[in-house]
Structure 1
Amino acid sequence: MTNKIRGRQTGLIGQTGKTHHIIAAFFLSIATAFAVLPQAVQAQNYRFTSVSIEGNKRIETGTILSYAGIARGQTVSAAELNDAYQRILASGLFETVELTPRGGTLVIVVKEYPTINRINFEGNKRLKDQDLEGFIESKPRLVFSPTQAERDAETIAEAYNQNARLGARVIPKVIRRSDNRVDLVFEIFEGGVTEIERIGFVGNRVYSDSRLRRVLESKQAGFLRALIKRDQFLEDRLQFDQQVLRDFYFSRGYIDFRTTGVNAELARERNGYFLTFNVEEGQQFRFGEITTTSEIPEAEAEEFQAILRIRPGVVYSPTLVENSIARMERYAIKKGIDFLRVEPRIVRNDRDLTLDVEFVLSKGPRIFVERIDIEGNATTLDRVVRRQFKVVEGDPFNPREIRESAERIRALGYFEKADVTAREGSSANQVIVDVDVEEKTTGSLGFGGSYSTDNGFGLNVQFQEDNFLGRGQRLNFTVAGTSGSRNYSVQFLEPAFLGRDVAFSFDIGYIETTGRNAYFNTEVANLGFGLEFPIGERSRLGVNYKLNATDISYDANFGQDTTPANGVRDCMEDGPAAVCLGDVIVSEANQGRRTKSSVGYTYTFDSRLTGLNPNSGVLFSFGQDIGGLGGDVEFLKSTAKVIAQTKVLNEEVTLRATFAGGMLNTNNGSSRVTDRFLFERDIMRGFAPDGIGPREVLAAEGVNDALGGNMFVTASLEAQFPLGLPEEYGITGGVFYDVGSVWGLDSGTQALSANIVGEPFDLRQVIGVSVFWKTPVGPLRLNWSKALKKRAFDKEQQFELTISTEF
């Protein structure tokens, strides 16, 4: 009978049990007797008048006897004696066990496993000791078990596998101490990260490998592999990748798409995987006939049919069907029809590749929401989660609405996970909705630096809390500065003002500059309040109040130079040639501090999320600010912008068009340079800040002041496309064409100087190329441009580096 613990391939080096020759010889003799004696001779039986336990120190004698299960005076066979041995050994409390019959006495000699004195981890860098201690079941002051130590080693190795380190090896070792104690040491070889070296597709004909790779959560390893963690191979991520592939094709009408298999081939060096997705795309289907039928008298099919937005010939998408169902359900609630169930019945037409959809209106089961239980939100208030539900206790239960509520909760960005499930309540017609969330950090403190040829080096410090005090509010503090400007701002947003779908915003800021032309300073203090609310499925309206105080001052280095021909100008005292401010800036600065008080509104229409085509969308905004409610200036300032985007050539190329314009009207020509539209890069590329528009120029005296204009208009056409580089680099290219103008001054302003240029409407034109780079610190855009049409006094800028914005 032998008790020997063998090490597994994880490298366990434990204790080897002692070979018990006496017991083995005893049972061997019993087996031999069965083989050589006549069958009439029966096996030897034993009857023990007493049982003696030896070697136990911590384990009670009664405990060992209970494992053995042999009572005094009981007749036992050799097989039953062996069973007793196995039960004692299986308890996991003893390193060795010996059972020896000595006449009428059964002697049981045991050697107890040592206790664990302490547990150490060696070689671990990626995972901390505290994390590893939580993974294992072996604990100090508990009995050491080689089997448990081996399982713990496997658990630690699996934890490293989840961190894409498939080559990790863990070896448990023991160090003997006095008093039958041991130190348990886990020697860890972490190995390198197992990356995804290549992602390929087999069977795709419509969409290229590069397009499909952009859909996946997993990414190929690139030269930024140290910063991009999605290139690590995680087996759990493959299931999600297959789901997003399916959603991608389904939303584009490929209803027969399926992934037939995913091959993950590990490199010989075990440091990289080669993934291959085997797919079947099928044919693209479009909507055919769209009809509505009603099985309940209070719901007229014609009324519900009229509110549908789907039209025949549009590429089929499950999202459009879901949106139509939601629209019908909302319309039913508006008409007072409860428990309306909308069932889409789809008929497939393989001949013309269309899908006929019949929306059937029927009465659903009378099931109500009993209550909504929220768990796991240690910081976030219950009401923040509850307001993502459009249903409350007592409302009819709608599974689709519960799914949408779950998506809204996840979209908040406050939780690592958010699970929403429904279960039966206190009765068959009651449902309890359970929300289980796990919070994550929502605050951030950011430090940034910048450099530009205009303002030199800059520093930006920003603190932002997206879930302020667990109320779902956003709070932002920003301090930014360059050699020529200072910017301080505080912004606050309450997305559900008074518990409704109304966003309340508040901001206060102070901006100080040393002059866009470096010859005069400006100080601007802002205070604003705003409310924004939906007025349609795709549109919102915002109203605001703004209070603005502006001051224009001279640089301290400027002196006075009286020039009869040109009036009074401020000029620099030092240098061989005086550099002076023009009459317009001097006149506007002499007006002192001015205050503007205005109310305004902004209308926004956005079809990007709810449009029929997932690859295109339009964003339109129009706003006006009306000044004169107090303050020193009466004005009307209007701005408008339209952005349209679509993807062509199997979504490889993105086309984008932007049109924008603005107009400022003031009473009695009282606008100043700080009120008018000054050229910015978001208006037109290819020129320096304030590089185009009206200016006051006196070359002989060094005057070249940008005055801004009362009107501007611009149009931009651009295309973004792949450059043939591996997509894991995140680098794409683009071309653009911009045309625009800033023009118009008040008559009073024009009368101040005869040296104003660029005041009439005059379109400038620019062409350029771009490089887009998605870096771990943010999307960057590099533009190289060339002005096709400009004026001699314009300031061109042929290169710029900016943060790319997504439409």
Structure 2
Amino acid sequence: MKNLQIVLLIAAGSFLANAASANDGDFSIAPVGSVELAFGYNTEVGASVSGRLEHGQFLGGNHAISLGFALSADEQAYDLMLRGGDADAVGPTFEYVLGHASAKRQSTFGLDTTESFFKPRAVYNYGLSRVSLGAVLSKDEVSNAFAAPAVLRAEVGERNLYGLSAGYSREGSGGYYAASGEVLTSGDGIAFGKAELAARYKYKANQRGLVLEARFAAGTIGVMQGSTSVIDRFVPSSGALRGFEAGGFGSVDASGTHVGSTNYAVVSFGARQKGLIASLPDLSLGAFVDLGSAWGFDSGGDPLRAQVDDAAKLRSSAGFTIGQNFGPGHIELVVAFPLQHESADRLQELQLNFTTKF
């Protein structure tokens, strides 16, 4: 067993406000916000805690605030979003997102990273669709790369980037689709564009609890000038391709160290069925097949970067899941069998997740 992950959402509540009825003057209670707190444990990164506070009437009606954080021994991340205007209006409404993240990525890359950003954007809502247009201002740094391979040590330093962003999403009828992109430059030698697509679909095949699922995600980076940093490139997250650890596949240098990729694509198909065991009606049994790859690395004519093995190599896995609801909680065991992988890949055959919300 390479990885064990348990997440417990221990507190969730809502803020309530009195709203006067236009008909009889009575007061009813309506939620205007929520607060959530979660604790987790992972055998690789240790304990973690995360939370989010949301309030839909901050500084009066039609103003919202969202504050989130995620903390572990190796990573700390914070974000603050302020929105002015009615979120359900066609638009535009205006959102202002401020964030900071720092990570000790010694076990993955042999270095540390920090990033701070400010993203103001205009948001247009069209029923089930949402369109956003905005700007990006960021400052990041790669540091403490003493244990990193030479190709990553060359990326040590600070950068100031700015640019434009755009996004589109639509959700409904069991499906979700999203596309986003950024064009960033330092103004003195670095310029690149980054785009991502995501889609998922869920279909209830019968009344007995059979659910069919499919998901797809892909991204690409195009470099116009200079070269990317490990902060920019794509690193597979946990669960992106079951059977592989977070950051466990993709482009590697001559020593076999993963260095991030400029392209990725992952597709997954799965099925889950409840009620197969009469005495355990909330027990679900499922099966899945995952396929994907992460490839590409911009060399920019640098001989050291040109040594990176960035070929597109298919990875695949298959497995099964066992899930059980316990009141407001859910526990799921994921058993994955990597079918196609490379020698430098880090595999993860077993994962256990527990979540609850109340």
1:492 counterpart letter in structure 2: L
Aligned-residue offset at 1:691: 0.2
What is residue 720 of structure 1 aligned with on the other side? 272
Residue 514 of structure 1 aligns to a residue whose secondary structure is: strand
Correspondence for 2:314 among 758, 763, 774: 763
What is residue 195 of structure 2 aligned with on the other side? 638
What is residue 600 of structure 1 aligned with on the other side? 165
Residue 706 of structure 1 aligns to a residue whose secondary structure is: coil
Deviations 1:747-767 (A, max 9, x none): 23762157533x111110011
What is residue 789 of structure 1 aligned with on the other side? 340
User: Is the 2:115–2:141 contact (alpha carbons within 8 Å) kept by the matching residues of 1?
Assistant: yes
What is residue 674 of structure 1 aligned with on the other side? 231
Correspondence for 2:122 among 531, 552, 557: 531
Counterpart-to-counterpart distance in 2, 1:593 and 1:682:
31
What are the equivalent positions in structure 2 for 1:404-553 lying under 5 Å apart?
436-440=26-30, 442-494=32-84, 496=86, 501-515=91-105, 517=108, 519-535=110-126, 537-553=127-143
What is residue 653 of structure 1 aligned with on the other side? 210
1:505 counterpart letter in structure 2: E
What are the equivalent positions in structure 2 for 1:326-405 lying under 5 Å apart?
none
What is residue 124 of structure 1 aligned with on the other side? none
Aligned-residue offset at 1:686: 1.6
The structure with the largest alpha-carbon Rg is 1
Alignment partner of 1:707 is 2:253: no
Residue 253 of structure 2 aligns to a residue whose secondary structure is: strand
User: Is the 1:414–1:467 contact (alpha carbons within 8 Å) kept by the matching residues of 2?
Assistant: no
Counterpart-to-counterpart distance in 2, 1:495 and 1:546:
21
Counterpart-to-counterpart distance in 2, 1:416 and 1:652:
39
User: Is the 2:181–2:193 contact (alpha carbons within 8 Å) kept by the matching residues of 1?
Assistant: yes
Aligned-residue offset at 1:530: 2.0
2:45 counterpart letter in structure 1: N
Counterpart-to-counterpart distance in 2, 1:793 and 1:714:
19
Aligned-residue offset at 1:734: 1.8
Deviations 1:749-803 (A, max 9, x none): 762157533x111110011212334455654543221101000100011122447
User: Is the 1:595–1:633 contact (alpha carbons within 8 Å) kept by the matching residues of 2?
Assistant: no
What is residue 588 of structure 1 aligned with on the other side? 155
2:227 counterpart letter in structure 1: S
Counterpart-to-counterpart distance in 2, 1:772 and 1:549:
42
Deviations 1:419-443 (A, max 9, x none): 77xxxxxxxxxxxx66754135645
User: Is the 1:493–1:505 contact (alpha carbons within 8 Å) kept by the matching residues of 2?
Assistant: yes
Correspondence for 1:799 among 341, 350, 354: 350
Counterpart-to-counterpart distance in 2, 1:716 and 1:449:
28
What is residue 4 of structure 2 aligned with on the other side? none
User: Is the 2:191–2:225 contact (alpha carbons within 8 Å) kept by the matching residues of 1?
Assistant: no
What is residue 739 of structure 1 aligned with on the other side? 291
Counterpart-to-counterpart distance in 1, 2:55 and 2:188:
34
CA 752–804 in structure 1, closer or farther in 2 if over 3 Å, else same: farther
Give the number of the structure with larger relative contact order, counting CA–CA contacts within 8 Å between residues 6 or more apart.
Answer: 2
Counterpart-to-counterpart distance in 1, 2:185 and 2:114:
21
Deviations 1:26-80 (A, max 9, x none): xxxxxxxxxxxxxxxxxxxxxxxxxxxxxxxxxxxxxxxxxxxxxxxxxxxxxxx
Deviations 1:327-361 (A, max 9, x none): xxxxxxxxxxxxxxxxxxxxxxxxxxxxxxxxxxx
Unpaired runs of 5+ in structure 1? 1-226, 228-411, 421-432, 556-569, 571-579, 609-616, 699-703
CA 418–510 in structure 1, closer or farther in 2 if over 3 Å, else same: same
Unpaired runs of 5+ in structure 2? 1-9
Aligned-residue offset at 1:545: 1.6
User: Is the 2:89–2:125 contact (alpha carbons within 8 Å) kept by the matching residues of 1?
Assistant: no
Correspondence for 1:664 among 184, 201, 221: 221
User: Is the 1:750–1:756 contact (alpha carbons within 8 Å) kept by the matching residues of 2?
Assistant: no
Aligned-residue offset at 1:804: 7.4
User: Is the 1:669–1:749 contact (alpha carbons within 8 Å) kept by the matching residues of 2?
Assistant: no
Counterpart-to-counterpart distance in 2, 1:770 and 1:495:
43
Aligned-residue offset at 1:517: 1.7
Aligned-residue offset at 1:507: 1.6
Counterpart-to-counterpart distance in 1, 2:79 and 2:195:
24
2:42 counterpart letter in structure 1: S
CA 500–740 in structure 1, closer or farther in 2 if over 3 Å, else same: closer
Residue 584 of structure 1 aligns to a residue whose secondary structure is: helix
Aligned-residue offset at 1:646: 1.4
Aligned-residue offset at 1:683: 3.0
Aligned-residue offset at 1:632: 5.9
Aligned-residue offset at 1:581: 2.2
Residue 225 of structure 2 aligns to a residue whose secondary structure is: helix
What is residue 178 of structure 2 aligned with on the other side? 621
Counterpart-to-counterpart distance in 2, 1:489 and 1:586:
28
What is residue 19 of structure 1 aligned with on the other side? none
User: Is the 2:90–2:125 contact (alpha carbons within 8 Å) kept by the matching residues of 1?
Assistant: no
CA 547–781 in structure 1, closer or farther in 2 if over 3 Å, else same: farther
Counterpart-to-counterpart distance in 2, 1:460 and 1:607:
28
Counterpart-to-counterpart distance in 1, 2:317 and 2:88:
48
User: Is the 1:444–1:464 contact (alpha carbons within 8 Å) kept by the matching residues of 2?
Assistant: yes
1:458 counterpart letter in structure 2: S
Aligned-residue offset at 1:652: 2.1
Counterpart-to-counterpart distance in 2, 1:745 and 1:631:
21
User: Is the 2:165–2:181 contact (alpha carbons within 8 Å) kept by the matching residues of 1?
Assistant: yes
Counterpart-to-counterpart distance in 1, 2:20 and 2:284:
35
Counterpart-to-counterpart distance in 2, 1:775 and 1:418:
37
1:521 counterpart letter in structure 2: D
User: Is the 1:490–1:508 contact (alpha carbons within 8 Å) kept by the matching residues of 2?
Assistant: yes
What is residue 693 of structure 1 aligned with on the other side? 250
Residue 679 of structure 1 aligns to a residue whose secondary structure is: coil
Aligned-residue offset at 1:738: 0.6
Deviations 1:118-149 (A, max 9, x none): xxxxxxxxxxxxxxxxxxxxxxxxxxxxxxxx
Counterpart-to-counterpart distance in 2, 1:607 and 1:498:
16
Aligned-residue offset at 1:469: 4.1
Counterpart-to-counterpart distance in 1, 2:89 and 2:252:
50
1:539 counterpart letter in structure 2: S
Counterpart-to-counterpart distance in 2, 1:797 and 1:661:
22
Residue 639 of structure 1 aligns to a residue whose secondary structure is: strand
User: Is the 2:46–2:72 contact (alpha carbons within 8 Å) kept by the matching residues of 1?
Assistant: yes
Bigger helix fraction: 1
Identity of aligned residues (%): 21
Residue 588 of structure 1 aligns to a residue whose secondary structure is: coil
Deviations 1:660-686 (A, max 9, x none): 211100123511111011111353222
Deviations 1:492-537 (A, max 9, x none): 23451797644422221111111152621111112112222134x5
Counterpart-to-counterpart distance in 2, 1:582 and 1:636:
26
User: Is the 2:191–2:224 contact (alpha carbons within 8 Å) kept by the matching residues of 1?
Assistant: yes
User: Is the 1:447–1:459 contact (alpha carbons within 8 Å) kept by the matching residues of 2?
Assistant: yes
Deviations 1:434-479 (A, max 9, x none): 6754135645554432111221111235433343245243323333
Q: How many residues align?
A: 343
